[in-house]
Amino acid sequence: MWTLFPIRDISWIVAFSFTIGSATFVINGFFLLLPLIDPATDFATETPYATPASSVLGTLIFLIGGYAGLLEGLNLTGKEMTLTDVQTLRVSSSTTQSNDDANEVHATSLAPLLGSSTFIYLPTMHQLLTTYACSLPFHAGWVQFVGTIIFSMATITSLPGILASSPSLAPLLNLLPATLGGLLFITASVLQILNVQEKWWVPQPLKGDWQVGFWNATGSLGFTLAGALPALGTETATYFGTLADFWGSWAFLFGSLVQFYIVMGYYA
């Protein structure tokens, strides 16, 4: 899984980005939670440097993953092809590629390769109103991308010194974006789950993609609570909000690892 890097496979970029981003947020969760549980674990550079740096890095990687997820939704929906159709398309669109690229064409099985003539970066208005209007992968992709943008606003305003002179604005400029971003993550995850289920009311937990959506939804719930609970203004609420951020990061990491495993399965 960690010795092959098919950087032209948009599904791989999505899975890899969210895996690394989630792992970064897990580290950030340790920085936030451990001082509350055991103040002796705090170190001089933790609050001013380690915590904000890990938060910013995780957010930047999530932004990359969110945009890649939007592109994945566009290209998975673009033709609704079977596995054989996708492989045929990729072979026909890569006759000038090297042998390594040709092997990648045969191995991958999701969306058209990034940079190929069939890859969709920006749909037409007609495509939006027809092909994508009822596409759950597309809607999950753009909802998640918007969520990452809003979530990044909370990261920026949480940096040391940003709201130091106006702490009364924290609920509006920090906690609200964090909560809204988490809610959009939940929405995107639910759309992913519904896309997997043959009947929307029948869960299919034995499917890998269903597990991805479920754990992402669980992690997104943690991110939402991390923004919403501190708004209550009590130490207990802040503690449980920090705890929700911690277990939410772990849940999102697990879902991302499952997604990464599924993608790399096409290269086995």
Distance between CA 27 and CA 125 in Å, rounded? 42
71, amino acid identity: L
Distance between CA 137 and CA 143 in Å, rounded? 10
Helix, strand, coil % (nearest 5) of the chain? 75, 0, 25
Distance between CA 194 and CA 115 in Å, rounded? 30
> Residue 81 has what pLDDT?
38
- φ, ψ dihedrals at 130, nearest 5°: -115, -75
Contact indicator for 23, 264 with CB cutoff of 8 Å? no
Contact indicator for 252, 220 with CB cutoff of 8 Å? yes
Distance between CA 74 and CA 132 in Å, rounded? 8
Q: Please state the length of the chain.
A: 268
Residue 208: which of 258, 265, 137 has the closest Cα? Answer: 258
> Residue 101 has what pLDDT?
46
- φ, ψ dihedrals at 116, nearest 5°: -80, 165
Residue 87: which of 68, 113, 65 has the closest Cα? Answer: 113
> Residue 76 has what pLDDT?
86
Per-residue pLDDT of the chain (268 residues; tens, 9 = 90+): 778 899 999 999 999 999 999 999 999 999 999 999 999 988 988 989 999 999 999 999 999 999 999 999 999 875 443 343 444 434 433 333 444 444 444 444 467 889 988 999 999 999 999 999 999 999 999 999 999 999 999 999 999 988 888 888 888 899 999 999 999 999 999 999 999 999 999 999 999 999 999 999 999 999 999 999 999 989 999 999 999 999 999 999 999 999 999 999 988 7
Three-class DSSP labels, 66-100: HHHHHHHHHHHHCCCCCHHHHHHHHHHCCCCCCHH
Q: Which residues contact 236 (CB under 8 A, 6 or more apart)?
A: none
> Residue 86 has what pLDDT?
41
Distance between CA 268 and CA 260 in Å, rounded? 13
> Residue 247 has what pLDDT?
98
Count of beta carbons in the 10 Å neighbourhood of residue 160: 11
> Residue 78 has what pLDDT?
57
Residue 252: which of 191, 186, 208 has the closest Cα? Answer: 186
